[in-house]
Structure 1
């Protein structure tokens, strides 16, 4: 397990009113490429820096090109400031090129706010998540990020690594940050992209790069590991779409996401 924290590897430092410096960690990568949720969280930190509305409520990111680990810049632009919510644009740039373009709605999450929900899938059973996901994919791609975080699969999902895909396109388990660091709204932007691709339960592949990622942050998480359900829905024309639901240790839905990714089968 890593000796650093997610807060440290996703930190940004202001260098101008709308500009921030960042350092992309080589440890938070898949096959040497930075994880998409990690990059979104990094931009999200800049989007809420020194704002009255300090929580990301929604984010939509497009990934134009994959940056390399190392120095990068984040630029933010306030599009609208409102009483209950504001909108912010953020860009991650490296070597003069835009790598990630994102739009954020930011506001304030109220602890313990009453809510109604219907039609959600059942949360995974945390007690059954005992298989730790290794730092190599089923086809041998190195996944350095799995040496930083702790992802545990239930027995059925673990078959992706132990017996091969089931064909259901579904992965269930738990997620813990390095050192048990508590999750915050901005780190939930990473949590929804922390699991291996759900397409691994259809067919083993190499890197499955995120093309677009949309996230809704629903609540501040209670302390403890998150419970995650990651599903693939459609694979066609070298593209795959997936959804992710995330619950905290108290069973509250704290985030959900959809993403479009590239994929190459066979």
Structure 2
């Protein structure tokens, strides 16, 4: 089993999509975004600050190609476009703003406090085959995910790597897409493929489990609009994302 850093390695424009980081046999969208971010960063700008990705076709585990186009190189930030292809088909295309999070300093103002979440030890770990989900989530063998069902369309909980690896700027891009869809509490079932995901990485997290809140803003007969917000173990906001996904209504 490859750790997250190894599983998101890109060398000379080539990557191997790891079967361990999948949902229903398909690579998780946040995992793919983190992999593309690793290809995009530079020595001068070592961290993704923002990412916006469209998911065009779900790739399979195995070899894939990654092409990086630098759009602008600046003093404090750069921008790049990254495309993942497999079998001559474009699967994911993303735009990144790159910078140095270590130079950003501490927050001077934040609008949202960390949400109330049940204590880590009082919540059970999400199994690889959650009851009623109808899908095997292999990546849950690699992460400790504990969910607090706060209310309709509102999931809260904790996330950490099973091997104790601390989160970094890249794995935060995975974290914003790691929880079940918020429609889980509204009767949605099965795989909920991402159409578009926009994420901000707002700080380098302190060691310890991440506090996660994912909630739906709107659900229609075919689409889900949801937000994910993440705080580190000290209560500092470190990432956020907005996602548009396909919503599948439960069968009558």
* Alignment TM class, shorter chain as reference: over 0.9
Whether the 8 Å CA contact 2:120–2:158 is kept in 1: the answer is no
Distance 1:129 1:259, change over 3 A: farther
- Within a 5 Å distance, the mapping from 1:150-169 to structure 2 comes to 150-154=144-148, 156=149, 168-169=152-153
Bigger drift between 138-147 and 100-109 goes to: 138-147
CA drift of 1:140 comes to: 2.3
Whether the 8 Å CA contact 1:37–1:190 is kept in 2: the answer is yes
1:167-197 deviations in whole A, cap 9, x for unaligned? Answer: x111111111230111110111100000111
CA–CA separation in structure 1 for the residues paired with 2:116 and 2:45? 29
Distance 1:53 1:239, change over 3 A: same
Distance 1:129 1:254, change over 3 A: farther
The 3-state SS of whatever aligns with 2:163 is helix
Q: How many residues align?
A: 248
TM-score by length of 1: 0.88
Q: Is 1:124–2:122 an aligned residue pair?
A: no
CA–CA separation in structure 2 for the residues paired with 1:141 and 1:176? 21
CA–CA separation in structure 2 for the residues paired with 1:75 and 1:220? 26
Whether the 8 Å CA contact 2:114–2:235 is kept in 1: the answer is no
CA drift of 1:115 comes to: 2.3
CA drift of 1:139 comes to: 3.3
The 3-state SS of whatever aligns with 1:188 is helix
Whether the 8 Å CA contact 2:53–2:198 is kept in 1: the answer is yes
Whether the 8 Å CA contact 2:134–2:189 is kept in 1: the answer is no
Q: Which residue of 1 aligns with 2:5?
A: 7
Whether the 8 Å CA contact 1:4–1:178 is kept in 2: the answer is no
Distance 1:239 1:251, change over 3 A: same
CA–CA separation in structure 2 for the residues paired with 1:39 and 1:140? 22
User: Is there any run of 5+ residues in structure 1 with no aligned partner, and where?
Assistant: 15-19, 158-165
CA–CA separation in structure 2 for the residues paired with 1:123 and 1:215? 22
Q: Which residue of 2 aligns with 1:181?
A: 165
The 3-state SS of whatever aligns with 2:101 is coil
User: Is there any run of 5+ residues in structure 2 with no aligned partner, and where?
Assistant: none
TM-score by length of 2: 0.93
CA drift of 1:144 comes to: 1.0
CA drift of 1:126 comes to: 4.4
CA drift of 1:225 comes to: 1.0
